[in-house]
Structure 1
Amino acid sequence: MTSFYKKLASLAVLVYLLGLIMAGWIPSAFASPSSSSDVKTGLWLSGYQQGSAVASAQALTLTTDVNMTVSGMINRVKVTQRFKNDSDEWVHGNYLFPLPENSAVDSMTLQIGQRRIVGEIQEKQQAKANFERAKAQGKSASLVSQHRANVFETQVAHIAPGEVVSITIEYQELARFDSGHFELRLPTVVAPRYQNPAGPLNGSELRMSDIAKPSSRHPVNTPKLPINLTIDLAPGFELASLTSLYHRIDTKMGSDGRYHIGLAEQVWANKDFVLQWQPKLGALPQASVLKQTTANGDFGLMMLLPSDDKHASHERLDREMVFIIDVSGSMQGSSMVQAKQALNYGLTRLQPQDSFTIIAFSTGVKLFSDRALPATANNLWRARTFVNNLQAGGGTNMHLALDAAMHMSAQPNKLRQLMFLTDGSVSYEDKLLKKIEQGLGSSRLFTVGIGSAPNGYFMSKAAQLGRGSYSYIGDINEVNERMRELFDKLANPALRDIRLQWADGTPMDYWPNPLPDLYQGQPLLVSFKFHGKTPQLQIDGKRANKRWQTLITLDHSQQSNAGLDKLWAAQQIRSIELRDDFSATEKQSSIVKLALDYQLVSRYTSLIAVDKTPRNVAQALEQQIALNMPEGWDMGRMPQTGTASQLLMTLGSILLLMSLLGLWSQRRRQGEQHAPVH
């Protein structure tokens, strides 16, 4: 009997443990998904779970028209979204879309037939309340809100059967100049983003069961969203080349020297549009300043180019390279091919006096070595083998890779440079940016965006905080050229540790702040407020290992009405968002004041337009416009748990428990049959 009770006690413990496991699994296996707009039900997010789409999937169609007017390096853009209701019901529309990471959104109009309603900037909560009130009163209305720095949402209330409602959003941005050419980028789709687990970024790994199925914003078979684009380009100098990297274009040159550009074929909102133009040799001035006078003061925009190669220092610095490569599920397909080819090319550019290591990350982290190794032929061969064996899959725990890189001991007397190859498909950018700002130290961070729709906001901001630069590879044929340009920069820092002030010692109100290092072919681009009538600007920095200083007189600035004040305010808002010396309340109040003063959409302000005339609608259906998948993405191969995996695990546990009970019962009967008779 003693043996029997021991078995019974052991079985009780087993049943108790299995009960605990099932108590955790069963509620999640059978629970209904939350419909709250603020609850994110998984880690792979195709957007932001706003509202419930109860209308027919084909009720609303959407066409987007984009018109750009480029003057010098300032781009004024109109984005018109046309919602057409093809159903017999009244419908509310909802659409999530990206804009360039440095855009300053300041205008919106709602067009219903012949009625045109101009939107106004309001604090976000007030604008949302006014929109919902108009919606409840049966009025037509539109709300444009920012979810994060480069992701926006348009909501439209009361679209009548057969009606077309147009929302026109306007924004201002700067063309990027790098490696001798200007560049404009128009993102067209919000890629699915990886949502980090609740709590701090403490280095804990995620389970595969934490990675949820993509939402209905990115279904496998999505109606294609067409996009039309026209560009009116006045570069201000003679061009050596004008190129669209990923779309075919038609170009006509007017008698006034302006270029009129349009798409040569129908395209869909599934990958970034990129236009590059290059000035003829000697056509671009080494320094240019634009000025704008407003009621809020005088604003300036300065572009200063480092001296050309013949005057640059070619003293090569020994480097410690840390390659960080994203091998998460979003990198499946062509993105993985591009990233591996780029990293292998980077390995070929190392010199014997350099050292290096490689960090691959997805759900966890895989190290080539836990410290930088000399760039010997044997170590490079081993590294290429390591890279070629990498496979994409799992989550995007980018913070684990950053932790690994930051905790590696830096080698003395070497310039430490981190090269980060990723699509940036994460939704917790601000936490990562804080980690970079606080933990990078003297290391420099260079980001390389991979794929058809990278997260440009995170990539460019991370490079700025890391005093490096951001490059983009959107096609496998660009890998060698882009990586060559990048490694030429890495080997030739033109100016480091840059500081700006007025010549009389007065602090300067400029953005971005802090300024990144400058590399050959990369300009210093600064938005600032003027000081005095004929101020002189003093620029200090380090060139090679010597201090460098110059004075620039700004009294011959070119007058411009291009919204330089808005660019300055937008840059300041982005800098405030990352400040550690501000509390959350201080950040919000500072950003709200700037956004209202300069009429900008921000994290805390929105654009709203309301038609004052009620439309006497008893009921309207909700519809979320489904997004295209980014070109090259394969959602079928992304990590998912939208299946019945948890339910199957629970049932399996129950079957296991029943089997153990049956086995114990059988053995007990056999023991009773063979027991000796007394």
Structure 2
Amino acid sequence: MTVPITPLKPGEYAPLPDAGLGALRTGKGNLPLESVGVEALITGLTSGVEVAQGFRNPHEVPLEATYIFPLPDRAAVTSFRMEAADRVVEGVLKERGQARRDYDRALAEGRRAAIAEEDRPDVFTIRVGNVLPGERVTVRLTLSQPLPYEDGAATFRFPLVVAPRYIPGAPLPDRSAGDGVAPDTDAVPDASRITPPVLLPGFPNPVRLELGARVDPAGLELTAIRSSLHEVDQEGDTVRLRPGERLDRDFVLRLEFAASAALALVPDEAGHEGAAGDDAEAVPGEGDAEDGDGTFTLTVLPPPEEAGERRPRDVVLLLDRSGSMAGWKMVAARRAAARIVDTLTSADRFAVLSFDSVVERPERLDPGLVPASDRNRYRAVEHLARLEARGGTELLQPMEEGLGLLADPAREGVLVLVTDGQVGNEDQILERLGARLAAVRVHTVGIDRAVNAGFLGRLAGLGAGRCELVESEDRLDEAMEHIHRRIGSPLVTGLTLKAEGLDVLPATVTHLGSLYSGVPLTVSGRFRGPASGAITVHGLTAEGRPWERRLTGTPATGTAARAIWARAHLRRLEDRYATGEHGLEHEIVAASLRHGVLCRFTAFVAVDTRVVAEGGPRHRVVQPVEMPSGWDMPAPPAPMAAAAPMAFATAAPAIFRVPGGDEEELDVPDLLDPLPRTTQRPGAARGRSFFRAPSPKAAPAPPPPVRLSPDTVMPQLTAELTRLRAAADLPGLERRRYLADLGSRLAALVSYLGGEDRLAALAAELSACETSPDADVDALWHRTDALLAELTGGHGGGHGGGHGGSAGPEHGRGFRPSFWKRS
């Protein structure tokens, strides 16, 4: 296709002083996104946010605009609206494939439409179609999010730019799944959906940003408000960005006030049906009778810290030194890693692995784990001080190597990852390592002003660890104090809940975890019946003594509690899907529609009834984004060969995609989902059917369970038997903890592969033994040894710890994972 380039007329542009090559100011402008407005109401430890994105068509034909943008990774998106001229159209939450069909049909018929989709927990895409020449369209998203709280301060973080992500794997040969600049690969089959084009250096501020946050302490004593990365003004209880700020870094507010233990009981509002509209009727099993009548939120304060002995630790430190870590991030990452090494004691062992496209270890240290002596710690810090950013972010190999070092059952295994998390193959990493992450404590330190918080949070969640986000060097010391405390032993473990006068649904309760010094624990879930009663939290202290706290419920109102719980519930289901439980598709769709919360299997779509254009949009523009603050603009990549092993999704050679002319509708067969498509230039937006979840009218039957087989799990079961026998002489409390940890690993393995009822039952019993004072540890130990010996043929040796995440030959080169399907 040949596209003519028409020169601007005199008076239509003006050169910008000190601007980069090709940066001009025009009277009409050429990018569709005009403004982004964020209004937040922070109430105690939650916030409600409305995001307004204003688009204008500067061209002379109808336009479709695409914008790839971030939202907080724990936020629950609960409503969507399109406003154009005198029209206001409320969005409807639908199964994602159906929403796309409705959107494409509306555009083909000449009607305005908009669609909002989630591609990662913190990366979303909005498309707005049939915007008339000169017309302005505003789309609004409403969301709720919890605020993390630690050491007397809550953090409100709102991301404003999707940073470039490293994309590993070989490019796929056919059409792209989305509108981004990176090709889809066998490791990241939707790379083109998470890699927006980047503005060239010197381009004038293209988007007007307005952001305000009103703070209501909700009974807590507010002592200070701090803004971390932006210049702000405060008017009464509202904090606002100063004019001229750009969308190139996260907005961060820290609110200092005292937390308190509480149990809030929030009944559902009368007539609440989510946002699913008529689609909800097509999904069976989603009545409130099966899902409860309200949501509880429990906040528990940790007990005072007492001195005591802890298990010796094996700590593996993974440091990202890839090209995206250049500048202040590399300096902060080196400092963070050195601080972790310096806090180790003589009873600990450690290893330091730095990685980009290759994995390196300190030259003056032996490979593997070494004692944390003064000399070894000095050599490790010396190695860290010399590291500079380079290469690509090949994260899977160093994580596999690090996990391979943590196999001693007598020691607490800790994996610490220091990175910006800017990779595209998150799902591949989770699928390969999901079962193994459950066997160690995983802490992540995300260093960036536009960090990949969703992925780092998922890693830490699977490893029952801590995720710290560091947006500046000033924040580093505070974050590292938190990580140091997490690497240490928790104050209370084996937490369980016992309800009194409140009908709690056990399957809906979020992860309990452990209690750490200075870190309140928040747990939520659903209940049936009246909003009254109490909950007691039980656990064991580090010394093995029983610990409990009883909290009486207080009725409350609002929709945020249910939305935040639903988002957490959906995230857990999505993570289980990523690690192999593909039969969960229908359950995820049903839960999303029932509670009216967007997820990766659903989408909000708003369709106008009025016909405004003939033949659909003639131009399609992908809105470019700012290069994140502190990043250097990389050189345009060389053309990629068909078997190229990696791609760094950053620079597009142009500021925006040049619009084309008329497009021809083609009926392209597709093995997965033959949705309507449009043919376009190479690299343009194509493959609208990237995602396909089951139709609400006829869900496919779940796949048969994968039976345990020797070639897939024998290495891991053999290694578990070897470690069990080696740990036989542990003291009583440590034996109990070891069996509980083993139970969690076996449960993860059974959950991943399916089948073997005896192993599943044993795993459940082992997991409960730590909190059950009546558990016979010796009897459990012998039964576990006997069952593992039977399953492995009695072999207690062999290589240690196969990953248990192998998914068979279909995961070879060129295979496209079914998770959030690209076509």
TM-score range, shorter chain: 0.7 to 0.9
Q: CA deviation at 1:135?
A: 0.7
The answer to whether the Cα contact below 8 Å between 2:150 and 2:518 also exists between their aligned partners in 1 is yes
Aligned pairs for 1:102-501 within 5 A: 102-197=74-169, 217-221=197-201, 222=203, 224=205, 225-236=207-218, 237-253=220-236, 259-279=237-257, 283-294=258-269, 296=288, 297-309=293-305, 312-313=306-307, 315-368=309-362, 369-411=366-408, 413-491=410-488, 493-501=490-498
- Check the 8 A contact 1:490/1:519 in 2, yes or no: no
In the other structure, the counterpart of 1:51 is none
Q: Any idea what SS the aligned residue of 1:268 has?
A: coil
Q: CA distance change for structure 1 residues 549 and 435 in 2, over 3 Å: closer, same or farther?
A: farther
Q: Is the 8 A contact 2:503 2:529 kept in 1?
A: no
Distance of aligned partners of 1:507 and 1:598 in 2 relative to their CA distance in 1, 3 Å threshold: closer
Aligned equivalent of 1:540: 538
- Kept after mapping to 2: 8 A contact 1:60/1:87: no
CA distance in 1, matches of 2:195, 2:41: 36
Counterparts of 2:455 and 2:613 in 1: how far apart (Å)? 44
Letter aligned with residue 305 of structure 1: L
How many Å apart are 1:326 and its aligned residue?
A: 0.8
Task: State the 1:267 CA deviation.
Answer: 1.3
* Partner SS state of residue 546, structure 1: coil
Counterpart of 2:631 in structure 1 is: 633
Instruction: Encode CA deviations 1:431-457: one digit per residue, 9 max, x unaligned.
Output: 323444311354211110111111101
Shift of 1:249: 1.5
2:61 to 89, 94, 101: 89
Instruction: Give identity over the alignment, percent.
Output: 26
Query: 2-side partners of 1:435 and 1:602: how far apart?
Result: 23
Deviation at 1:342, TM superposition (A): 1.1
8 Å CA contact 1:464, 1:515 repeated in 2 = no
Matching residue's letter, 1:351: T
Contact kept, 8 Å, 1:536 with 1:551, in 2: the verdict is: no
Distance 1:172 1:581, change over 3 A: closer
| 1:98 maps onto 2:73 in alignment | no
Matched-pair contact (CA < 8 Å) for 2:223–2:256: yes
AA aligned opposite 2:106: A
Structure 2 Cα separation of the partners of residues 382 and 563 of structure 1: 50
Query: Residue 538 of structure 2 contacts residue 549 of structure 2 at CA under 8 Å; is this kept in 1?
Result: no
Amino acid aligned to 1:269: L
Residue equivalent to 2:795: none
Query: What CA distance in whole angstroms lies between the structure 2 residues aligned with 1:531 and 1:114?
Result: 43
Residue 68 of structure 1, aligned match among 25, 40, 61: 40
* Aligned CA distance change for structure 1 residues 119 and 289 (closer, same or farther; 3 Å): same
Deviates more, 1:300-309 or 1:107-116: 300-309
Query: Which residue identity lines up with residue 477 of structure 2 in the other structure?
Result: N
**1:134-187 deviations in whole A, cap 9, x for unaligned?**
111111111111112221111011222222110001111111112221111111
Supply the distance in 1 between the matched residues of 2:408 and 2:547 (Cα, whole angstroms): 30
| Residues 510, 527 of structure 1: 8 Å contact kept | no
Give 1:272's aligned amino acid.
D
Q: What 5-or-longer segments of structure 1 have no aligned partner? A: 1-55, 200-205, 254-258, 648-678
Q: Distance in 1 between matches of 2:438 and 2:604?
A: 39
Matched-pair contact (CA < 8 Å) for 2:210–2:243: no
Q: 1:489 to 1:121 in 2, by over 3 A?
A: same
Whether the 8 Å CA contact 1:144–1:608 is kept in 2: the answer is yes
Q: Which moved more, 1:533-542 or 1:566-575?
A: 533-542
Tell me the distance in 2 between the aligned counterparts of 1:501 and 1:132. 50
- Following superposition, the deviation at residue 477 of structure 1 comes to 2.6
Contact 1:241 1:278 in 2 (8 A): yes
For the 8 Å contact 1:436–1:465, the answer to whether it is kept is: no
CA distance in 1, matches of 2:170, 2:475: 38
Q: 1:546 to 1:239 in 2, by over 3 A?
A: same
User: In structure 1, what residue type is equivalent to 2:217?
Assistant: P
| 1:73-130 deviation line (CA, Å, top 9, x unaligned) | 1211100000122233321111001111111111111111222111111111111111
1:456-507 per-residue CA deviation (whole Å, 9 max, x = no partner) reads 0111121122111111111123322321332134335222333335469988
CA RMSD, 1 decimal: 3.0
Q: Deviations over 1:582-640 (max 9, x none)?
A: 976531100111111111221121111111111134552111100111111223269x4
**Partners of 2:106 and 2:112 within 8 A in 1:** yes
Q: Is the 8 A contact 1:464 1:516 kept in 2?
A: no
- Structure 1 residues 607 and 635: alpha-carbon distance in aligned structure 2, compared to 1, 3 A threshold: same
The answer to whether the aligner puts 1:526 opposite 2:501 as a matched pair is no
CA distance in 2, matches of 1:164, 1:532: 47
Taking the aligned partners of 1:60 and 1:581, their CA distance within structure 2 comes to: 35
- Number of matched residues? 570
Residue 536 of structure 2 contacts residue 551 of structure 2 at CA under 8 Å; is this kept in 1?
no
Structure 2: distance between partners of 1:408 and 1:122:
45
Q: Which has the larger radius of gyration?
A: 1
Q: Which moved more, 1:285-294 or 1:462-471?
A: 285-294
Change (3 A) 1:140 1:518: same
Between structures 1 and 2, the one with greater strand share: 1
Using structure 2 for the length normalisation, give the TM-score. Answer: 0.65
- CA shift for structure 1 position 402: 1.2
Deviates more, 1:487-496 or 1:520-529: 487-496
Say which is worse superposed, 122-131 or 494-503, in terms of deviation.
494-503
Deviates more, 1:351-360 or 1:533-542: 533-542
**Contact persistence 2:434–2:579 (CA under 8 A):** no
Q: State the TM-score, normalizing by the size of structure 1.
A: 0.78
CA distance in 1, matches of 2:138, 2:640: 39
544-553 or 137-146, which moves further after superposition?
544-553
Structure 2 stretches lacking a partner, 5+ long: 1-27, 172-185, 271-287, 645-823
In the alignment, the residues of structure 1 paired with residue 256 and residue 119 of structure 2 have an alpha-carbon distance, to the nearest angstrom, of 34
Report the Cα offset of residue 401 of structure 1.
1.3
